[in-house]
């Protein structure tokens, strides 16, 4: 069973159910081919390239298919990942707490060089906000995380997010 696509930079999306992980992946990769599956752990991946001025990053973006509750499978899921996007929903404080747990787990057990991003999704619903941007931003700063608020619905900052990550991937050429 091969879960690594040659020449692709593995990126995993983590976070509580319903925060918008699948929506973010689909918004960014719109219409692209889902070409890898790991059905035993209910994960799938979509490939998408990001063109930088003098480099190209081919992302294999892994998304869980609603299997977030099987936490024990997580290490299989994020093994060999170069980047992780930990998503919470700005209108659900509990999802922020779960995101912090993911960050801590990745920092303790994941590859030390993994690029971790903390993402507050559903920024279009700011009238129902439960997580202050400043608080999350400060947490991200203290933990060396990229931080953005996004909306998979409007597309706000979705491209930015993947470009910022791509820029941090060391040039392999």
Contacts with ligand GDP by CB under 6 A lie at: 15, 17-23, 121-122, 124-125, 151-153
β-bridge pairing 43-52 and 115-121: unpaired
67 binding Mg ion? (CB under 5 A): no
Minimal distance, residue 127 CB to Mg ion, in Å: 24
Q: Helices 158-168 and 21-29: crossing angle, nearest 10°?
A: 80
Which CB sits closer to ligand GDP, 4 or 17?
17
Q: How many CB atoms lie within 10 A of CB 46?
A: 21
Residue 124's binding partner, choosing from Mg ion, ligand GDP, none, with beta-carbon cut-off 5 to 8 A by kind? ligand GDP
Residue 27's binding partner, choosing from Mg ion, ligand GDP, none, with beta-carbon cut-off 5 to 8 A by kind? none
Tabulate helix, strand, coil % of the chain (nearest 5).
35, 30, 35
How far is Cα 145 from Cα 118, in angstroms, rounded to an integer?
Answer: 6
The span from the first CA to the last CA of the chain, in angstroms, equals: 28
Minimal distance, residue 152 CB to ligand GDP, in Å: 4
Minimal distance, residue 161 CB to ligand GDP, in Å: 12
Residue of the chain from 4, 7, 12, 22 that contacts Mg ion (CB under 5 A)? 22
């Amino acid at each position: 069973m091969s879960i690594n696509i040659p020449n692709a930079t593995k990126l995993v999306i983590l976070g509580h159910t319903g925060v918008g992980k699948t929506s973010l992946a689909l918004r960014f990769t719109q219409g692209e081919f889902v070409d890898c599956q790991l059905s035993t752990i209910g994960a799938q991946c979509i490939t998408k390239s990001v063109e930088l001025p003098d480099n190209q990053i081919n992302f294999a973006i892994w998304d869980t298919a609603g299997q977030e509750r099987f936490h024990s499978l997580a290490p299989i899921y994020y093994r060999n990942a170069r980047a992780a996007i930990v998503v919470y929903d700005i209108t659900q404080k509990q999802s922020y707490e779960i995101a912090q747990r993911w960050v801590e787990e990745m920092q303790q057990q994941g590859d030390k060089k993994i690029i971790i991003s903390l993402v507050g999704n559903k920024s279009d619903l700011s009238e129902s906000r439960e997580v202050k941007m400043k608080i999350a931003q400060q947490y991200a700063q203290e933990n060396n995380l990229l931080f953005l608020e996004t909306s998979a619905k409007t597309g706000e900052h979705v491209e930015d997010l993947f470009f910022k990550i791509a820029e941090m991937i060391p040039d392999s050429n």
